[in-house]
Structure formats: structure tokens, C-alpha cells
Amino acid sequence: MRFFVPNLKDDTKADQVWEELRKGVSRDNAKEWQATHRRVFRIWCRHNARSWVAEVGKGHPEDAQEQVYAIFDTFGPCYLVCTPKRGVFAGGPYYVGKDDTDDVEDFESDSR
């Protein structure tokens, strides 16, 4: 999948917006919880004994009304899944343990 950030009126701003989101979720965290520069498109994982998929641009599996804006890898044991209410405009992101993650798909590398 080619890199994008959902709901932008100007797609040329995607890199800038993504970097602002990455810095925002990393700001107050220790090194292991800071977001890397890896651009994750989709993750398959288990949460509360259920299998689910979080994908940028789709509704979050726990709240379909909340669109996933970004998924960040960290230097530590989890991925950060950001929606408007969790990590973008308010609150902290959803934390998904890497041990609970079955597969990860990145955005196409030529789009970086």
C-alpha cells in the first residue's frame, strides 16, 4: 500500500503530519516507548482473547467509529495504534504488545 494519512485535504502534507504524530506520541516517553520511523500500514494481533486487524484508514477493531490514523513501531515491546480519541487529538494511543502480534505489513518502501 502506498503511504497516506487519512482525511488530509492535501496529500503532499502526509509526511509532515505523520512526523508530527510520531513526535507527539513519543514526546513524554522513555526511549523504549518512543515511536521509530518505520511506517506500519496494518497489524494482525490478539487482544482480550480476540483476533483483530488494525489498518490505517479503517475503523479501529474496538471502536469502528474511530478511524486508525497511524500505527507506530516502538523501540520497546509494543506498537502504538493512533485514532482521533487515542493518540491524535486526545489521550494516549492504544498499546498492542509485539508478543500478541501475528503479522505486520508496512507501507511500500518507495513511498518514504
11 three-class SS: helix
Interval 33-90: pLDDT, tens = 899 999 999 999 998 788 999 999 999 988 889 999 999 999 999 999 999 999 999 8
The model's pTM is 0.92
Identify the residue whose cell numbers are 474511530.
66
What are the φ/ψ torsions at residue 102 (nearest 5 degrees)? Answer: -90, -35
Distance between CA atoms of residues 11 and 31, nearest Å: 30
CA pseudo-torsion sign 97, 102, 108, 109? positive
- 102, burial (CB in 10 Å: exposed 0-12, middle 13-18, buried 19+): exposed
Q: Given this model, what pLDDT does residue 77 score?
A: 94
